[in-house]
Amino acid sequence: MSKVKETTLFIDLKALEHNFNFIKSKISSDTKLMAVVKAFAYGTDSCAIAKKLESLDVDYFAVAYAKEGIALRDAGITKPILVLHPQSAYFESIIERCLEPNLYSFFTLKTFIKVAKEKAQNNYPIHLKFNTGLNRLGFSYEDIDDISNIINHSSEVKLNSILSHLAASEDPNEMDFTKSQIERFKIISECLEKNIPTSFLKHLCNTSGILNYPEAHLDMVRCGIGLHGYGNSTEIDKQLKPIATLKTIISQTHHLKPGDSLGYNRGFKAIKPMQTATIPIGHADGISRIYGKGNGIVFVNDKPAPILGNVCMDMIMVDVTNIDCNIGDEVIIFGPHHSAEIFANNAQTISYELLTALSQRIKRVIID
């Protein structure tokens, strides 16, 4: 990994391959793997990530919105792509780009069938989302008969899969709730199998579900954060490799005297002589204000440097009083040895939020 001259996000595709193989080792050969590459593949580069995973023969991709799926098609991705939160304004585009909608309400189901009919479609693949306790999106158990009637009388569409989403699969304190979700989904699956004559896939598990509930792997599992090197537990994290490393440099250093203040709203005031370094990354890049005032720690020459005062839009200032450093020296925000999970936890948030917030103005470098 070359020394940086500007803020740069390195994306390690060999680490991605390692994580892919690790996740594959946790599921049976009969269980398909759907790679979730929404939100620019968790803040990295969705096209580069998808191309690598397609070369590894992943079974399916999932994105949040149609635009993300269109970008993958434009990049040459040919594997099936599930749109998890399709919106009716994009139903025509979904059909035109051979994307597959996840339909979660009677409005989305009926509207998509209407558009499919207008486009002279036959057996267009659709997916149905059921709510088993997350209470975010999805049909209910009571909707099964009406759904079945619509599907059975609509030649325009074909049911490819049904899915639900676990709410707390990473939390051992919520094991009973997770098991109740699994049981509800199995009941829904059995009812639909009786009502709808064609076969369809069933999938429920996210990364933590894959690792903690093998009995719920079913026909397919969905993996997002796990592919990026985070397993929602310290034990699993040791076996995965973070694929993203965010580096930058020191722009300038300052010496503060007791009583000097630093940053907007004088967010830090020195009580002793100290040295600070200004770093060219801020909340416009995804390092939000929650990391200010010591909640975020970066590494300068392998030594921890707490963020001082308030995070600015384009810059942060860090304490380098006890660090031998100069202008241009490399700064690691997070990476394999100082993980995004730890960086986020210090500010009482999660790696998902940190990674997906990374600005597209940050330079990306692909390592393969």
Annotated catalytic sites, by residue?
A: 38, 264
Q: What is the C-alpha to C-alpha distance for residues 347 and 345, in angstroms, rounded to an integer?
A: 5
User: What residue has token string 């300038």?
Assistant: 252
Residue partners of 64: CB distance under 8 A and separation at least 6: 38, 39, 83, 84, 85
Residues 237-240: contacts with CB under 8 Å, at least 24 apart: 237/339, 237/341, 239/22, 240/18, 240/19, 240/22
The bridge status of strand 316-319 relative to strand 244-249 is: unpaired
Neighbours of 120 (CB within 10 A): 7
Give the 3-state secondary structure of residue 247: strand
Helices (H), the chain: 13-25, 38-43, 46-55, 66-74, 91-96, 106-118, 144-152, 175-195, 207-212, 234-237, 340-345, 351-356
Give the three-class secondary structure for 316: strand
